[in-house]
Amino acid sequence: MGPEVGDLLEGVTLSPNNSDRKSEWDLDTSEGVIVTAVDARSPYGKKLAEGMVILEANRIEVNSIGELERALRKGANSLFVNARGKRGYVVLRIP
Q: Mean pLDDT, 10 residues at a time, over the chain (95 residues)?
A: 60 91 90 94 94 97 94 95 95 93
Is residue 57 within 8 Å of residue 25, measured between CB atoms?
no
Predicted local confidence at residue 43, as pLDDT? 93
User: What are residue 37's DSSP bridge partners?
Assistant: 13
Q: Is residue 4 part of a domain?
A: no
How far apart (Å, rounded) are the C-alpha atoms in residues 60 and 78? 10
- For the question of whether the overall pTM of this predicted structure is more than 0.75, the answer is yes
- In a domain, residue 2? The reply is no
Q: How many domains does the chain have?
A: 1
| pLDDT computed for residue 51 by the predictor | 94
User: Is residue 6 assigned to a domain?
Assistant: no
* CATH for 37: 2.30.42.10
Asked whether residue 33 is assigned to any structural domain, the reply reads yes
Q: Residue 52's domain spans which residues?
A: 12-94
CA distance 42 to 30: 26
